[in-house]
């Protein structure tokens, strides 16, 4: 038993010594922490004292416990104490800890008529809170520390009672009143803002000058302060001007979108339809009330499918997977499809990413373009089939000197196909090939000179023989837009009259 008691004393002695050293350190720190410029405490009123270490209360005097409405410091942590002190000192920190190894901060009451202030001394993991009442040499005339700060702030601050009656206003409030009210309305204190008694969130309020037709905007915050309310107004004119400019810009875009012939559907980051234009209704036949209900992308495409305004999927079970792939492709600016609809129309659908994760889908009716392209392609194929049916070998030379077209007889006669060459097949390449396949003659030199001279827009006729002995006529005739047609016609062995060739029809 003696040994047990002895061991307890050995533990208790260092613990008591540690607590004594803690109290001494806090008192010594409190003595050193005092600095000029802090409010002067009233010696006639008791000072509350709270001591903390690592977020837990280790000691407090009766006046300090009275502030926390507690009788003992046991079980009180920093968070619970801070929540009570913030009712009077809103800026009081919610966590213990100095910005540097040691610091001293002063917190004044929110109500400018409240003389109470709190001084927080912190050193490493130690903290002391002193709650005091300031005093003045002349209590009736000297302003408080908080009152001076609130009076000289550049933003309007005013105080009202519970009924909304104006009790006090700072210099910025009175200066604002002079700019919007005549002098005869300055007494008593003018009421500029129609503010409710209490509001948990800032509210936007306008102050109007009817003489100059000027509207000033402010964000007003109201805070309860022991039987009255303190209101703070911050300038919101820049924000309001930006919002007005944004609304005008959106209205301009809306008018522009309304005149577009391309259907526009913008889905937000949640894949809900947030914007569409009238062309989308015309192109998709979707009702306006459905689009106005902000359907998601899946419902949007389901309705398109029901209206047969998109190609029918081959496998309906994979339909939702296809929509998911569409969303990913549109977000990466990779979605572009051509839809051939059962009605015969053809739509081009593109997906484009927009800021903040939004996606824009553009629907364009390209039926006329597709029809024109198909008709143009059919005309080209018809023209090619016509010249392929001609017995004479024909080649067309473009204004830049390249062979742009030829028929089957030409490809057979000269054993070449200009359409299959990677490089341009020029008239120079053709002349070289014609020389190699024909008998020795100076005719090709004359033909080349004619093509390269200024008279190349005039017809040119001639005759040559192939190495096989077969004779052919050569005829170059100008076409419109600088094009020329060259034709090769086989001749009978007794046909030597070149002048007769001028009457041949190509």
What is the C-alpha R_g of the chain? Answer: 47
Confidence band, pLDDT 50/70/90 cuts, at residue 463? very high
DSSP-assigned beta bridge partners for residue 462:
474
> For residues 417 and 408, is the Cβ–Cβ distance under 8 A?
no
Angstrom distance (rounded) from CA 293 to CA 271: 13
Backbone angles phi, psi at 420, to 5 degrees: -95, -5
Paired with 461 in beta bridges are 475
H/E element, 101:
none
- Reported pTM: 0.42
| pLDDT tens, residue by residue, 470-492 | 999 999 998 888 889 999 999 87
pLDDT at 499: 47
State the pLDDT confidence band at 493, using cuts at 50, 70 and 90: low
> Which of 147, 104, 119, 128 is closest to 41 using CA atoms?
119
**Confidence (pLDDT) at 286:** 92
CA distance 408 to 392: 9
Task: Tell me the per-residue pLDDT of 53-63, one tens digit each, with 9 for 90 and over.
Answer: 988 999 889 88
Among the residues of 438-506, which ranges form H helices? Answer: 443-452
Q: What average pLDDT does range 236-245 have in this prediction?
A: 90
CB of 61 within 8 A of CB of 73? Answer: no
SS3 state at 204: strand
- pLDDT, tens digit (0-9, with 9 covering 90-100), for 416-426: 888 777 678 88
Residue 338 DSSP symbol:
E
- Asked which of 75-79, 191-195, 405-409, 497-501 is least confident by mean pLDDT, the reply is 497-501
**Whole-angstrom Cα distance, residue 469 to residue 476?**
22
Closest CA to 131 of 60, 236, 221: 60
**CA angle 417-419-424, nearest 5°?**
105
* Cβ contact 404:397 at 8 Å: yes
Residues across the chain: 506
Using the structure block, give the residue that is written with the tokens 């942590």: 77
User: For the segment 279-326, what is each residue's pLDDT rounded down to a tens digit?
Assistant: 999 999 999 999 999 999 889 988 988 888 888 776 666 766 777 777
Name the residue among 479, 480, 448, 476 with its Cα closest to residue 489. Answer: 476
* Predicted local distance difference test score (pLDDT) of residue 363: 93
Residue with tokens 């192109």: 283
83-103 pLDDT tens trace: 888 888 887 888 888 766 777
Core vs surface per residue 443-479: b (16+ CB within 10 A) or e:
bbeebeeebeeeeeeeebbbbbebeeeebbbbbbeee
Average pLDDT over residues 72-76: 80
- Least confident range of 71-75, 331-335, 433-437, 452-456: 452-456
Q: Phi, psi at residue 275, to the nearest 5°?
A: -155, 135
Helix-helix angle 319-331:297-306, to 10 degrees: 120
pLDDT of residue 504: 43
Per-residue confidence band for 5, with pLDDT thresholds at 50, 70 and 90: very low
- The predicted pLDDT at position 51 comes to 92
Ranges assigned E (strand) in 202-345: 203-209, 214-224, 228-235, 263-267, 273-276, 336-340
- Whole-angstrom Cα distance, residue 506 to residue 501? 10
Question: Alpha helix locations (H) across 53-144?
Answer: 62-68, 78-85
Least Cα distance to 266 among 232, 289, 235, 300 occurs for 300
Q: Categorize the per-residue pLDDT at 22 as very low, low, confident or very high, splitting at 50, 70 and 90.
A: very low
pLDDT at 129: 92
Percent composition of the chain: helix, strand, coil (DSSP 3-state, to 5): 40, 25, 35
Q: Which pLDDT does position 180 carry in this prediction?
A: 84
């Amino acid at each position: 038993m003696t040994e047990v008691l002895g061991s307890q004393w050995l533990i208790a002695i260092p613990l008591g010594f540690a607590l004594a050293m803690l109290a001494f350190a806090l008192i010594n720190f409190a003595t050193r922490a005092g600095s000029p410029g802090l409010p002067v405490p009233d010696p006639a009123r008791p000072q509350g004292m709270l001591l903390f270490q690592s977020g837990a209360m280790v000691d407090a005097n009766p006046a300090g416990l009275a502030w926390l409405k507690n009788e003992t410091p046991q079980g009180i942590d920093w968070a619970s104490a801070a929540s009570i002190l913030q009712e009077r000192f809103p800026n009081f920190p919610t966590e213990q800890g100095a910005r540097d190894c040691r610091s001293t901060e002063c917190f004044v009451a929110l109500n400018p008529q409240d003389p109470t202030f709190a001084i927080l001394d912190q050193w490493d993991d130690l903290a002391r809170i002193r709650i005091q009442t300031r005093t003045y040499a002349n209590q009736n005339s000297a302003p408080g520390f908080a009152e001076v700060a609130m009076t000289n702030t550049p933003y309007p601050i005013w105080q009202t009672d519970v009924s909304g009656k104006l009790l006090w206003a700072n210099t910025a409030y009175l200066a604002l009143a002079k700019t919007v009210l005549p002098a005869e309305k300055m007494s008593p204190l003018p009421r500029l803002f129609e503010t409710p008694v209490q509001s948990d969130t800032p509210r936007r309020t306008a102050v109007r000058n009817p003489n100059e037709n000027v509207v000033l905007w402010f964000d007003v915050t109201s805070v309860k302060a022991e039987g009255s309310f303190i209101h703070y107004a911050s300038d919101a004119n820049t924000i309001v001007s930006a919002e007005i400019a944004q609304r005008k810009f959106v209205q301009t875009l809306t008018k522009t979108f309304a005149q577009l012939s391309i259907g526009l559907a913008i889905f937000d980051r949640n894949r809900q339809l947030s914007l569409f234009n009238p062309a989308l209704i015309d192109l998709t036949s979707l009702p306006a009330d459905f689009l106005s209900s902000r359907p998601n992308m899946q419902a949007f495409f389901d309705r398109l499918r029901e209206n047969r305004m998109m190609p029918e999927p081959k496998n309906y079970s994979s339909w939702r997977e296809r929509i998911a792939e569409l969303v990913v492709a549109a977000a990466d600016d990779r979605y572009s499809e051509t839809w051939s609809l059962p009605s015969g129309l053809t739509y081009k659908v593109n997906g484009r990413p927009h800021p903040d994760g939004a996606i824009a889908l553009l629907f364009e009716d390209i039926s006329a373009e597709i029809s024109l392209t198909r008709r143009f392609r059919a005309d080209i194929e018809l023209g090619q089939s016509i010249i392929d049916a001609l017995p004479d070998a024909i080649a067309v030379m473009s204004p830049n000197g390249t062979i742009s077209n030829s028929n089957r007889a030409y490809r057979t006669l000269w054993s070449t196909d200009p359409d299959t060459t990677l490089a341009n097949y020029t008239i120079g390449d053709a002349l070289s090939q014609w020389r190699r396949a024909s008998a020795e003659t100076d005719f090709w030199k004359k033909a080349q000179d004619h093509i390269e001279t200024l008279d190349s827009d005039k017809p040119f006729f001639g005759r040559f023989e192939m190495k096989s002995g077969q004779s052919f006529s050569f005829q170059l005739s100008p076409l419109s837009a600088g094009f020329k047609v060259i034709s090769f016609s086989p001749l009978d062995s007794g046909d030597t009259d070149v002048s007769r060739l001028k009457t041949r029809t190509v």
